[in-house]
Amino acid sequence: ADAGRVLAVPAARQLARELGVELTQVQGSGPNGRIRPLDVHRHAQRSAEPA
Amino acid sequence: MTNAPLNFDLLVIGAGPGGYHAAIRAAQLGLKVACAEMGAVGGVCLNIGCIPTKALLHAGETMAAGKHATEFGLNFGAPTLDIPKLNGWKDSIVKKLTGGVSGLFRANKVTHLVGQASFVDAHTVRIGDQTVTASSIIIATGSEPAALKGLDVDQRVIVDSTGALNVPDPVPARMLCVGGGVIGFEFAHIYNNLGTKVKVIEFLPNIIPGADADAVKEFSKSMKKQGIEIQTRTKANSATVNGNEVVVEIENVETGEKTLETFDRVLVAVGRRPRTDGLNLAAAGLQTTERGFIEVNRRMQTAVPHIYAVGDVAGNPMLAHKAMKEGLVAAEVAAGKPSEQDAVAIPGVVYTSPELAWVGLTEQEAKDKGYSVKTGVFPMSASGRAMTLQSTDGFVKMVVEEGSDLLLGVHIVGPHASDMLGEASLALEMAATASDVALTIHAHPTLGESVLEAAEAVHKQAIHIINR
């Protein structure tokens, strides 16, 4: 309902800032699509791979 | 004599919760830090806020506890209160904690500068007769009690929160608290327990703005039961001091009816205003909002990016733990780290007995945001632990999103609600569901089980109450 809220644990939010990852682009693997640090790492790795 | 300017990586203006957190974290991250304070280190919270009020609340509650002990056959007799000793004990705690902050400054090699700060330009600040230049500057100048027209604070008969901390000898017989917010109710509770007949008046239709309506209703019921009189939609127009008494004109704002009532003390607690007097913000290229706040982004940066503002001066809610978090964020950003004030929720607490504590959205706020809402309530009267503590007023109310079961808010009225709130805050930050809370084993018997049972009640599966 609250469109602005991204469900992510605090450590994932912190990591996303450090890696320059936009949390809204990350697929969360937790309940309700909750984003965990591992998801942020995966996203950052995928983005770094050549297309 | 002209002194050469002192140069720092970071200058923090103000040594309250926001300022000292910023200074210490910045020093931990290797910055050369100075912290300027014109008054006592620790700021409002340690010196004339959080800490001394909690000390007096504990004293009042201990007196009340002695009375309740007769229920299980323990008779202490009528208590006597040595007021100078009470004030001295309270002051000794403040001294110990502010001394602790000074010690932490020394240990972290934070340079403590004494004096009023005033900007010369965006990198230069005068502190007393010293000139300081810094790459980054954090403004943490806090707030002060808001004045109320017609009621001039003399800190004797008409007091603000600072004056109310000094318990007079003898304790006042009749007291009026103007303002039914957190500060008003904490003092009402202190003085009520110390034997004062207390009346609280609030201009708005509800006391404790920002709290959940059901929680406020439960809280209000308990306060009234303990003898505190509460009148909402009521204001104080004027006060006339006659010796040690004060006659106050009180007006019911609905009917317009005015009455004159006599008290021995009046507390004005109608809010706080941000403090930027004397800072000469214009020299730094800064201005305040209409309400006096310094606007910041999530990194706590002002319109001038190397100048930050944290805590009460940066906006509501004016709470110590918010200032602390913002201080850490500002320090980390100043040290080049990608930090942000990204908290899901900032908890609020009224340290009365029972306490009122909440984090996240109220039921109404959740509905206003468009959530389809489910709630679960567990009353303290069904808690075995609460019974053994003679403290069965209150409940835990959980607000969740229907379908996803996502936790949106937790509202607690009850003993040690402030401590129970830590679990709820973590649950919200971790985007937990009511099921996550319900599936977590909570020790028995504890007050914290009430949080588990409220989560179970969301699913109509609480064990210790009948689910309807």
pLDDT digits (tens, 9 = 90+) for B83-105: 999 999 999 999 999 999 999 99
Which residue in A has a C-alpha nearest to residue B405's C-alpha?
A32
Question: Alpha-carbon distance B369 to A2, whole Å?
Answer: 6
Q: Is A1–B401 a contact, with Cβ atoms under 8 angstroms apart? A: yes
* Mean pLDDT (whole number) for B127-134: 96
Q: Is A31–B369 a contact, with Cβ atoms under 8 angstroms apart? A: no
Q: How confident is the model at residue A4 (pLDDT cuts 50, 70, 90)?
A: low
Quote ipTM for the complex: 0.92
Q: Is B297 on the interface with A (CB under 8 A)?
A: no
Question: Alpha-carbon distance B151 to B237, whole Å?
Answer: 8
Q: Which of residues 299-338 of B touch A (CB under 8 A)?
A: 338
Q: What pLDDT score was predicted for residue A49?
A: 78
pLDDT digits (tens, 9 = 90+) for B247-300: 999 999 999 999 999 999 999 999 999 999 999 999 999 999 999 999 999 999
pLDDT digits (tens, 9 = 90+) for A10-41: 999 999 999 999 999 999 998 889 999 999 99
Continuous segment of H or E residues that includes residue B133 = strand B130-139
Cβ pairs bridging A and B (under 8 Å): 35
Q: Is B433 on the interface with A (CB under 8 A)?
A: yes
Name every chain A residue with its beta carbon within 8 A of the beta carbon of B409: none
For an interface test with B, give the residue of A19, A34, A36, A39 to mutate (most B CBs within 10 A): A34
Name every chain B residue with its beta carbon within 8 A of the beta carbon of A33: none
Indicate whether B1 pLDDT > 60: no
pLDDT digits (tens, 9 = 90+) for B288-341: 999 999 999 999 999 999 999 999 999 999 999 999 999 999 999 999 999 999
Q: Is B371 on the interface with A (CB under 8 A)?
A: yes
- List all residues 6 or more positions away from B233 whose beta carbon is below 8 Å from its beta carbon: B202, B203, B204, B205, B252, B253, B254
Q: Is B245 on the interface with A (CB under 8 A)?
A: no
Question: Alpha-carbon distance B321 to B210, whole Å?
Answer: 17
* Mean pLDDT (whole number) for B430-442: 97
Q: What pLDDT score was predicted for residue A51?
A: 56
Question: Alpha-carbon distance B355 to B391, whole Å?
Answer: 11
Which residue in B has a C-alpha nearest to residue A18's C-alpha?
B338
Q: Is B341 on the interface with A (CB under 8 A)?
A: no
Question: Alpha-carbon distance B236 to B153, whole Å?
Answer: 13
Name every chain B residue with its beta carbon within 8 A of the beta carbon of A13: 340, 342
Q: Which of residues 17-46 of B touch A (CB under 8 A)?
A: none
For residue B267, give the nearest of B248, B291, B242, B286 by alpha carbon. Answer: B248
Structure-block tokens of residue B366:
């959740």
Q: Is B112 a catalytic residue?
A: no
Q: What are phi and psi of B313, to 5 degrees?
A: -70, -20
Name every chain B residue with its beta carbon within 8 A of the beta carbon of A30: 431
Q: Is B430–A9 a contact, with Cβ atoms under 8 angstroms apart? A: yes
pTM score: 0.96
Q: What pLDDT score was predicted for residue A2?
A: 61
